[in-house]
């Protein structure tokens, strides 16, 4: 059996683009590695852009065996 944890990681401000950049990817890597050290396993993640193309976020789900 697993317990799940979902987090939102805000991305940096964007100007006229909805794409994640290298800094966003580095922040995502940092979070994944930090959670892995705590015993969490990455299940899925997705980048969510906003319609205004100014700010987005990653939604990340981890799981840990209970």
The residue extents of the domains of the chain are 2-65
Phi-psi region of 48 (alpha: psi -120 to 50; beta: other; left: phi over 0): beta
pLDDT, tens only, 4-26: 999 999 887 665 555 667 888 89
* Amino acid 52: pLDDT: 62
* In the predicted structure, residue 65 carries a pLDDT above the cut 80: yes
Mean pLDDT of 43-55: 77
Q: Which residue has the higher pLDDT, 55 or 63?
A: 63
User: CA-CA distances (angstroms) from residue 16 to 4, 11, 19, 48?
Assistant: 34, 14, 9, 15
* In the predicted structure, residue 54 carries a pLDDT above the cut 80: no
In whole angstroms, give the CA distance from residue 61 to residue 6.
Answer: 4
- Other residues' Cβ atoms within 10 Å of the Cβ of residue 18: 16
């Amino acid at each position: 059996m697993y317990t799940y944890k979902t987090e939102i990681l805000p991305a940096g401000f964007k100007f006229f683009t909805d794409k994640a950049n290298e800094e966003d990817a580095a922040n995502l890597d940092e979070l994944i590695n930090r959670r892995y050290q705590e015993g969490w396993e990455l299940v899925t993640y997705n980048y969510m852009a906003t319609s205004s193309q100014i700010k987005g976020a990653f939604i990340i789900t981890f799981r840990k065996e209970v």
